[in-house]
Amino acid sequence: MKKIFTLVAVALFGLSTSFAQTATTVKQAPKKAATTVKTEAKKATTTAKTEAKKAEKKAATTGAKLKADGTPDMRYKENKEAKVVTAGPKKKDGTADMRYKANKEAAKKKN
C-alpha cells in the first residue's frame, strides 16, 4: 500500500511540474521605441507646465488662491465662499438630488 501511495504521489508531482509556467526570455525593445517614450514624456511635462501657467493666470484674474495642481485651496476664505450652483433640485443638506435628470446631466458634463 505504501508503494502505491508513493507512486501516486510521484505521478501527481510530475504532472504538476509539467503544467507549471515556463520562463520566457525577455526581448529588448528596439531603441526607437525608447526614444519615442522619452519624447512623449517630455511633451507631457511641457504641456503640464503650460497648463500650470494658464491656471496661475486664471488665479491672478479671479483672485482665488490655488494649489500647485490648479485646484482651489480651500484653506482660504474666498475659496470657501465660492458656491457651486446646481441645475436642478437639491436635498435638505444642500447637495444636488441625483434623482432628477437636470442634476444627472450636470454631473456628466463635469466628468
| Domain presence at residue 26 | no
Helix/strand/coil for 55: helix
Instruction: Tell me the CA end-to-end span of the chain in Å, nearest whole number.
Output: 68
Looking at the structure, do residues 90 and 68 belong to the same domain, yes or no? no
Q: Is the pLDDT of residue 93 over 70?
A: yes
| Domain presence at residue 29 | no
| Domain presence at residue 64 | yes
**Is pTM beyond 0.75 here?**
no
Q: What is the pLDDT of residue 11?
A: 84
Average pLDDT, the chain: 75
Q: Which tens digit of pLDDT belongs to each residue from 32-67?
A: 555 666 677 667 677 767 777 776 666 555 667 888
Here the cell at position 96 is 444636488
Q: What is the pLDDT of residue 109?
A: 75
